[in-house]
Amino acid sequence: MKTLIFLAILPLMSVLLLSSTCHKSESIKAPLEHKNDICKILHYASLAGSSHNSQPWKVEVFPNDSIVVFADASRLLKVVDPKGIELFISVGAFTENLDIAANSLGYKTEITLHDTGINSAGSVASVKLVKTSLPQKPENLKELELRTTLRIPFDTMEIKNIDRGKLVSIAPENIILVPSNSPEGRFIAKKELEAYTIQAWQKDAQDELASWMRFSNKDVNSKRDGLTPAGIGIKGIGGFVVRNFMKPEDSKKESFVKSGVEKTQKQVENCGGWIIISTEKEDASEWINVGRIYERINIQCRSLNLGFHPMNQIIEVQPIYQEVNDKMVSGRKIRFVARIGYVNEYPAPVSKRRPVESFTIFR
């Protein structure tokens, strides 16, 4: 009986999974009120985006209000991100959130980035906190809570000049905003669909994605990372079926993969523009900086009612990456791609996050 129910519902679940929102934290306000400032800052930092919601960061806290941030190589996506570039970008997003949260709680931050490799045990960033005033701009903390990735189709109208300026001004030397209706925009859309399709049928990439699926309540509550039913917006009867009748391995089934490709085609055809973040140099500190830029863009998009959806398959699949890179930013390296577009409303953001104590050592 379970098998019949599963076969009937699987195609629908595939569409729901790939069209839903992905992000944010469950309500933690009550216990957070009783935490010290360091724990609050690290909690808000952990609301940063990361590939597959892998949350690849570790932290050491010292008595003099110094925080040392590490990349957790055990959470590396070895198939799609073998060099750890996206891992460092995720840690960069964490560092940006940490900076915003600390400033909002009345601390000045002194951040030093370190050039370290994925196999190094060294830190990627050192943060010194200096108390300067009473907590300021609590609305910034709310922005961190609301930051969201949207996988729904967006409005295709061109991004307004005033909004374009706000986004590009975050890091004009690194950011390009390409209108979706331009020849370059259509080129990116075509190549993103090609890259997604190749990766979707790639067995080792399927296996890696399945390893981050958290379908059962037991996995959701014990691991508190990865792609959960709540975090990817599968609720109601759909959420019940996923939690009780689906296993992570089901994400590799043909019907699931085909639905994902079809949904991705709708996504790339329905947006207002493409954000490209590139770098001139190639080292860990540059990738950390890309993560900080990406996080600021994502937060700014939310305030402008622009949907934001990272689509880095175009970077992960060779030789498509090289073709796109040569055409769009010759002489530099594309390190992040996202589609953006106006939306009518944002759904309530939800997803699991690991508790601060699970990734932090207090010295």
pLDDT digits (tens, 9 = 90+) for 114-134: 888 777 778 999 999 999 977
Of the two residues 136 and 14, the one the predictor is more confident about is: 136
Which one is predicted more confidently, 139 or 300?
300
For residues 173-185, average pLDDT: 98
- The whole-number pLDDT of residue 27 equals 37
Do residues 141 and 329 lie in contact, with contact meaning Cβ atoms separated by under 8 Å? Answer: no
pLDDT at 305: 96
Q: How far apart are CA 288 and CA 119, in angstroms?
A: 16
What is the mean predicted confidence (pLDDT) over 303-315? 95
Residue 24 has pLDDT above 70, yes or no: no
Of 56-65, 177-186, 340-349, the range with the highest mean pLDDT is 177-186
Backbone angles phi, psi at 70, to 5 degrees: -125, 155
For the entire predicted model, the pTM comes to 0.88
What pLDDT is recorded for position 232?
66
Burial degree of 346 (CB within 10 A; 0-12, 13-18, 19+): middle
Q: Quick one: CA dihedral 159, 165, 169, 171, positive or negative?
A: positive
Phi and psi dihedrals of 231, rounded to 5?
-65, -25
Higher pLDDT, 230 or 309: 309
pLDDT of residue 16: 33
- Backbone Cα Rg of the chain: 20
Whether the pLDDT of residue 23 is over 90: the answer is: no
CA–CA dist 91, 192 (Å, integer): 24
Q: What is the pLDDT of residues 208-230, one digit of tens each?
A: 999 999 989 899 889 999 987 76
Q: Please indicate whether residue 14 or residue 255 has the higher confidence score (pLDDT).
A: 255
The tokens describing 302, both together, are 């939310």
**What's the average model confidence in pLDDT over 134-160?**
90
Q: In the predicted model, what is the mean pLDDT of residues 264-289?
A: 95
Domains, the chain, ranges and CATH? 153-213+247-342 (3.40.109.10)
Q: What is the structure's pLDDT at 345?
A: 86
Looking at per-residue pLDDT, the higher value among 118 and 203 belongs to 203
Lowest mean pLDDT among 79-88, 97-106, 113-122, 155-164: 113-122
Phi, psi of 279 (to 5 degrees): -130, 160
Q: Which of 47-56, 202-211, 340-349 has the lowest mean pLDDT?
A: 340-349
Q: Chain-centre distance of CA 353, in angstroms?
A: 13
Confidence at 237, pLDDT banded by 50, 70, 90: confident
Lowest mean pLDDT among 148-152, 239-243, 353-357: 239-243
Tell me the average pLDDT of the chain.
87
Most confident of 122-136, 153-167, 232-246: 153-167
* pLDDT greater than 70 at residue 349: no
